[in-house]
Amino acid sequence: MRSFTKNNPAVPIFVNHFISTPLFHHVHPYPPYIPPNATKLIVGTLPPPRFSSKELKEGDVDFCYGSRDGQLWQIIDGIFNLNLKFETSEEAILQRKNFLHEYNIGICDMVSWAKRMKIDASDIGIQEFGLRDLVKILQKHPKIDTLLFTGGNSKNGPEYFFPRNLKKYGGTLKVLDSTMPRIHQFKLPESDRIIKTVSLLAPSGAANRAMGSLASYKKMKRENPGLTAIDFRVEMYRPFFTGELSGN
């Protein structure tokens, strides 16, 4: 089923229904945050339900990827040495917004709302969903050339959802590199822009098992036994956030 709200990309346009039993309705609490000169876009699913109800825990930041249990801002802090605050304060929010503007990075999660069997943040627990029209959002931001998916190709992750959005416009992803982090590219509909997608290892503890099976992690661990899960992600994320690698 397809529905839309005119001129509001934050409202879902693609709706998929699997089951009819009552489910917990989880609404994304933040609109896309995209600076005018953004060239990269961080793309995930949606934050834990407590961010929608504003029942934050001590150490949460009331902003995208602000969960105290998540690692994205720790990884970014490790790459750019930002000295970020990890607390529920306006200063912590402003630090993150300032970073995004300075480095021309935006954030736009794929899922606008979801329905779940359990009240948690797991992607796999999503039973029904509404997706943001990321293709339309990209068309409105002409400088974006890279999507940074914060997760692999597991069910209900950004790499899983985005091709559904792209397919509505007749587009498909072309594989450039099938190893982790996987790299694809696609031609943006109604333009000549070529945009890359980079599927990074998810910045969460739940992805540590997958990380442990990676040959690159095993090699780094042998060379540096004190390496932490965040250290490994810092090195994986660094070239794509800083532009040190083209990904081609």
Q: Are 178 and 198 in contact (CB under 8 A)?
A: no
Structure tokens at 126: 């999503």
Q: Are 34 and 106 in contact (CB under 8 A)?
A: yes
Residue 22, helix vs strand vs coil: coil
Q: What pLDDT score does 34 carry?
A: 98
Tell whether the model's pLDDT for residue 13 goes beyond 70: no
Q: Average per-residue pLDDT in the chain?
A: 89
Mean pLDDT of 72-76: 98
Higher pLDDT, 124 or 175: 175
Model confidence at 37, in pLDDT bands (50, 70, 90)? very high
Q: In angstroms, rounded to a whole number, what is the distance separating the alpha carbons of residues 124 and 116?
A: 9
Please give the DSSP secondary-structure letter assigned to residue 56.
P
Burial of 216 (0-12, 13-18, 19+ CB in 10 A): middle
Q: In what order do the strands lie in the sheet with 14-16?
A: 14-16, 126-131, 111-116, 24-27
Give kind and range of the element (H or E) at residue 211.
Answer: helix 208-212
Residue 206, helix vs strand vs coil: helix
Angstrom distances, CA of residue 5 to CA of 9, 28, 61, 98, 234: 8, 16, 29, 30, 38
Q: What pLDDT score does 97 carry?
A: 98
Q: What pLDDT score does 21 carry?
A: 58
Mean pLDDT of 8-36: 72
Q: What pLDDT score does 155 carry?
A: 83
Structure tokens at 44: 């995930």
Tell whether the model's pLDDT for residue 141 goes beyond 50: yes
Mean pLDDT of 81-95: 98
Among the residue ranges 44-48, 81-85, 88-92, the one predicted with the least confidence is: 44-48
Among the residue ranges 146-150, 157-161, 183-187, the one predicted with the least confidence is: 157-161
Higher pLDDT, 187 or 1: 187
Q: Which span out of 46-50, 96-100, 214-218 was modeled with the highest average pLDDT?
A: 96-100
Give kind and range of the element (H or E) at residue 215.
Answer: helix 215-223
Would the pTM of this model clear 0.85, i.e. be above it?
A: yes
Tell whether the model's pLDDT for residue 3 goes beyond 70: no
Q: What pLDDT score does 135 carry?
A: 98
Tell whether the model's pLDDT for residue 234 goes beyond 80: yes
Q: What pLDDT score does 12 carry?
A: 52
Q: Are 133 and 148 in contact (CB under 8 A)?
A: no
What Rg do the C-alpha atoms of the chain give, in angstroms? 18
Mean pLDDT of 141-170: 92
What is the set of domains in the chain, with CATH numbers?
Answer: 31-109+137-241 (3.40.470.10)
Q: What pLDDT score does 245 carry?
A: 56
- 165-220 pLDDT per residue, tens: 999 999 999 999 999 999 999 999 999 999 999 999 999 888 888 898 899 999 99
Among the residue ranges 53-57, 92-96, 203-207, 230-234, the one predicted with the least confidence is: 203-207
